[in-house]
Amino acid sequence: MKMIAVIPARYASTRFPGKPLAEINGKPMLWWVYQKIKHIKEFAGVYCAIDNDRIQDVCAGLNMKYVRTRDDHPDHISRIHEVSEKIEADYYICVNGDEPLITEECIIPVLPIDVVQEPYFGGAMRLLNSPAEAIDPANIKIAVSDTGKCLYMSRIPIPYPKSTLKVPYKKYVGVECFNKKALDFFVQTQMGSIERTEDIDHLRFLENGIDLHFTLVESDSLSVDTKKDLDYVREKINERLREDSIERAIFWGGV
């Protein structure tokens, strides 16, 4: 079974231009994600999916493999589809380039064990702990059935705690796994109306009857959207470097 990891890294971003190149401890944010994933043995290869000369130069300079993609993709899934047209694999694991705190523990549990025939999507979710996180629409809440099947994803907190307050809210974490059929399906299908309303790409699958499989992981990863998030992440990474010799080995080994 061949699995490759893809890290989409768009230069343009309304709130934070040049985000993937934002500096953390002397290296661009993208590099930290790349290093973490490079060490996962299940992956036959790791590629940054980039759309910009500046990022390409940085990747080349730091020995990070990349695939140059179009800069007019409406969403990251379309970008991964473009990669799948150039590189063949059974599964494409996409890790957000703006979550430098992502760990192996978030990724390995999401990896499928078999090749399947139908379009496949698997993702990661973690528990939502604070009230503010639950209200924040940037956090996508996931409602799953008892068997782990995703019923819906929303920016508003779901499910509603009507008969109990013991509700373990879950939010989407930026680790996704697609097979080629799922990627093909996505780009060949029109945007769903609920997908458009919520602005959540994955709803395109749900709206067309394709299951989404989410696995619960432990993570304190966050998506860096603002300069403030960046400060938080810098702090966390420095902490990890101080405490964990393996982290340091990865850091120095990557130089």
Partner 1 sequence: MKIIAIIPARYGSSRFPGKPIADICGKPMIWWVFNQVSKAESINMVLVATDDLRIKEVCDTFNIPCLMTNEDCKTSTERAFEVANKIHSDLYVVVNGDEPLIDPDIISEVIPKDIPNGIYVGNLMTRIDRPSEVVDFTNIKVVTDEDGNAEFFSRSPIPYPKATLEYEYFKHVGVLIYNYSALEFFSNTKPGKNERVEDINELRFIDHGIKIRMKEVNAHSLSVDTPKDLEFVKKEIERRDETGNCNRLHT
Binding site for partner 1 (CB under 8 A): 128-136, 157, 160-162, 164-167, 169
Shortest CB 166 distance to partner 1, Å: 7
Rounded to whole angstroms, the Cα distance separating 162 from 61 reads 54
**Nearer of residues 70 and 166 to partner 1, judged by Cβ:** 166
CA atoms within 13 A on the CB side of 212: 23
C-alpha distances in angstroms, 127 versus 96, 111, 115, 172, 233?
18, 19, 28, 9, 19
Which residue, 115 or 127, has its beta carbon nearer to partner 1?
127
Min separation Cβ 82 and partner 1, Å: 33
Instruction: Between 129 and 193, name the residue whose CB sits nearer to partner 1.
Output: 129
DSSP string, 126-173: EE--SHHHHH-TTSPEEEE-TTSBEEEEESS--S--SS-S----EEEE
Residue closer to partner 1 (CB basis): 176 or 198? 198
Nearer to partner 1, 1 or 156 (CB): 156
CB of 213 within 8 A of CB of 148?
yes
> How many angstroms separate the CA atoms of 9 and 19, rounded?
8
Q: How far is the CB of 156 from partner 1 (least distance, A)?
A: 9
Q: To the nearest whole angstrom, how small is the minimum distance from the Cβ of residue 138 to partner 1?
A: 9
| Nearest residue to 20 via CA among 224, 254, 231 | 224
